Structure 1
Amino acid sequence: MTGKRDIKQVATTGGMPSSHSTAVSSLATYIVTNKGSHHMEVAHAIILSMVVMYDAQGIRRHTGEIAQLVNDL
């Protein structure tokens, strides 16, 4: 935001759930790139990615609903 490099950002988590979604997407991409698309590991990685991203979407939705309720108070 300031235009300066902040080396501390290298050690931060990135925030849940976005960092989790990024990690499983990277894993699936890595496996497809190295194994090809016709391996069982690819199917496992894609299913894992779908589960994690679905859960992350649900967490974001519930967090937004709770934030709205708190703001209404």
Structure 2
Amino acid sequence: MFETGGMPSSHSALITGAASGVGYELGFDSSIFALSVAVALIVMYDASGVRKSAGIQAVEINKLSKKLDPKSELLLKENLGHTKIEVIVGSFLGPLITLPGMFFLGSPLKIFDLIIN
């Protein structure tokens, strides 16, 4: 949750949980749900593609930096993205937590409204 990379992908869990919550609340045939699915796919692609590539580049840059200056302690963070399996597990975990929570407890917005009023 506080670090990038690792199992499961919190990016995927958060965005698919939000998308499934939108679908549950507004209907899985709504245009807002379709938009949330598109955003979820972009986030998951970014987590496994672009961020993973940046992490691979960071590994090589750190190797080069250590060769040029062995005493250097300024290294780039290497664990940035997720593997495909981490993204898949996260994408199942999000709805697995969100949908039962919304079914048994209700929408977070409705719960928040009850607390305020």
TM-score bucket of the superposed structures, by smaller chain: 0.5 to 0.7
Match in the other structure for 2:29: 38
TM-superposed deviation, 1:64: 2.4
Higher relative contact order (CA 8 A, sep 6+): 2
Matches within 5 A, 1:1-73: 13-16=1-4, 18-57=9-48, 58-71=50-63, 73=67
- Structure 1 portions without partners, runs of 5+: 1-12
Decide which structure has the larger Cα Rg and report it.
2
Aligned length: 61
Identical residues among aligned pairs (%): 20
Instruction: Give the alignment's TM-score, normalised by structure 1.
Output: 0.61
* Cα distance change of structure 1 residues 21 and 15 upon mapping to structure 2, 3 Å threshold: farther
- Structure 2 portions without partners, runs of 5+: 68-117
